[in-house]
Amino acid sequence: MKKTKKKNIFKKISKVIDKKIIMPITRVVVKIAKSFEKSEKTFEGWLSKQNTLLFLSLIVAIVVFVVIDQKIIVFTNQTAEVLKDQTVEVTYNEEAYVVEGLPETVDITLMGSRSDLFIAKQSTTSKVTVDLTGLKAGAHRVNVEYSQPLNSIEYSVNPSIATVNIYPKVSETKTLTTDILNQDNLDSKLVIDSITPELDQVVIKGTDDKNAVNSLTKVATVKALVDLDELTTKNVGTTTIKDVPLKAYDKDGQGLDVEIVPAKINVDLEITSPSKEVPIKIIPKGEIGFGKAISSINMSASSATVYATKDVLEKLESIPLEVDVTGLKEDREYKLDLTKPKGVRSMSLNNITLRFTLGDSTDKDIDDINIDVRNLNDKYSVQGDSEKDIKVTVNVKGVSSVLNGLTSEDITAYIDLKDYAPGTYEVPVKVEGTDSRVAYISKTKKVKIRIVEK
């Protein structure tokens, strides 16, 4: 039954083609043939061939199909496309006015055929504009216009209307400062010793209206942003970075969009490599096993070369290295990492090997150690209530061979009076010594002192 139905369908299709296509074409061809009497027999002979009409009908059918198909594509190929973040070009008197509220970019929705949209997107004459010519200071609603070369394209702009504020332009002079960017990308052994911009002052232009977002009254500083990634040479010596951009900031460090004249300058940098040989100071932490003390500390290196700015190097006296010796009862070797002191950019050593040798512990007292005062404000002076508050006895523990050579000159007792104000206080006594193999303990834990204004 299915085969019979399919045959009936094909018969109907063939009858339609024969009636609608083949027969009309045949009639046209016969009429054309009759108009050519001289070649009638030749043409009739060609036309009478079995496959001629079949091929002609097929060709015409294909042509008709293509034409109709293309018409359908044209009618159904309407589409839309959004052009994001199109830059807005504004026309106004830049020398006389400042404009705020105008969008920097807009979105354009284009509607049309695919081919027209393709051409429109490739066009270099398309642009988004706002014309403020002739407008005076104040608030205005203006149209955002889009120009494109094809009339067959429909479009919409978002936003299509903008509310702008126009202010009279004024100017003032600001002192220029500098800010270094990407300093961590500089070789750790190098430092920027000095920065010299070609100008000390610049002119900023904008509005002095306090209600404006980028009012000149909000400008707290103007900085030259020196990017060390722009260095052409990263060696010791003087080098110049050209076209360093300038940026204005408010008191909170937020950037402001004001005009700066000039917008870019050249900056000279003095690159140096200050260094210093600094001893490594071993600081044992914790209590060694009962009856034991450190006899000797052997170090793979006793000092390291550090690289930092000159002011950091001047204050740096040693590289402290704490070692946990809690419960240590026998000789032991340590391999420890060195921590860079604050402000140090690089060190010649990253780690060190130590060997602690132990011996039998003994102790003794060293009397009359004067108490030093540290970190007291220069406006004040300090007094002890009695002699016992200005001197202490220090008990030292270690092996006898080390203690025998120890004197009061090797011990420092002190009190830290940072942030103390005038008044009477009991403050803790701290003790330190020159030999890290020795444990120092003040027998007086606190002293009573009085702080007065000078």
Q: pLDDT tens digit string along 97-151?
A: 999 988 989 998 888 888 777 777 777 778 889 999 988 989 999 999 988 777 7
3-state secondary structure 62-93: HHHHHHHHHHHHHHHCEEEEEEEEEEEEEECC
What sign has the CA pseudo-torsion 394, 396, 400, 402?
Answer: negative
Q: What is the per-residue pLDDT across 234-250, written as a single tens digit (0 to 9) for each? A: 788 999 999 999 999 99
DSSP-derived secondary structure letter, 17: H
> What is the percentage of the chain residues whose pLDDT exceeds 70?
83
Q: Which structure tokens are listed for 213?
A: 């977002």
Q: What percent of the chain has pLDDT over 90?
A: 59
pLDDT at 197 over 80: yes
Instruction: Scan for tokens 């202490």, then name that residue.
Output: 392
> Is it true that the peptide bond before 279 is cis, omega within 30 degrees of 0?
no
Strands 201-206, 259-261: pairing is antiparallel
Interhelix angle 52-76/23-34, rounded to 10 degrees, is 120
Q: What is the pLDDT of residue 19?
A: 67
pLDDT of residue 75: 44
Measured in whole angstroms, how far is the alpha carbon of residue 366 from the centre of its chain?
58
Q: Whole-angstrom Cα distance, residue 351 to residue 374? A: 32
- The answer to which of 74-78, 139-143, 161-165, 319-323 has the lowest mean pLDDT is 74-78
CA-closest candidate to residue 198, choices 269, 255, 271: 269
Other C-beta atoms closer than 10 Å to the C-beta of 322 total 13
- Which pLDDT score, from 0 to 100, does residue 233 have? 76
Alpha helices in 77-150 (DSSP H): 114-122
pLDDT at 21 > cutoff 50: yes
Please tell me the predicted confidence (pLDDT) of residue 4.
44
What helix, strand, coil percent values describe the chain, rounded to 5? 20, 45, 30
Residue type at position 21:
I
> Going by C-beta distance under 8 Å and a sequence separation of 6 or more, which residues neighbour residue 284?
294, 322, 323, 325, 436, 437, 439
Instruction: Please give the pLDDT value at position 74.
Output: 47
Query: Mean pLDDT throughout 273-277?
Result: 94
pLDDT(368) > 70: yes
* Dihedral sign, Cα of residue 37, residue 43, residue 47, residue 53: negative
Q: What is the model's pLDDT at position 54?
A: 65
- Return the higher-pLDDT residue of 321 and 61: 321
- pLDDT, one tens digit per residue, over 133-144 is 988 989 999 999
10 pLDDT band, cuts 50/70/90, is low
pLDDT at 414 over 90: yes
Q: Kindly report the backbone phi and psi dihedral angles of residue 43, in degrees, each rounded to the nearest multiple of 5, phi listed first.
A: -65, -40
**The pTM of the whole model exceeds 0.85:** no
Q: Which of 118-132, 280-294, 300-314 has the lowest mean pLDDT?
A: 118-132
For residue 12, pLDDT over 70 is answered with no
Contacts of 234 (CB under 8 A, 6+ apart): 186, 187, 190, 228, 271
Q: Using alpha carbons only, what angle is made at residue 92 by residues 86 and 172, rounded to the nearest 5 degrees?
A: 110
Task: For residues 35-58, give the mean pLDDT.
Answer: 59
Give the mean pLDDT of the chain. Answer: 85
pLDDT number for residue 183: 87
pLDDT higher than threshold 50 for residue 73: no
The predicted pLDDT at position 115 comes to: 77
d(CA 327, CA 312): 36
Provide the pLDDT for residue 383.
86
- 280 in Cβ contact with 344 (< 8 Å): no
Give tens-digit pLDDT for 331-364: 999 999 999 999 999 999 999 999 999 999 999 9
Q: Does 8 have pLDDT greater than 60?
A: no
Confidence class for position 41, pLDDT limits 50, 70, 90: low
User: Could you tell me which of 222, 248, 91, 272 has the C-alpha nearest to residue 166?
Assistant: 91
Region of poorest pLDDT, from 30-39, 276-285, 394-403: 30-39
d(CA 304, CA 347): 7
Predicted confidence (pLDDT) at residue 46 exceeds the cutoff of 80:
no
pLDDT of 141: 93
Q: Is the pLDDT of residue 224 over 50?
A: yes
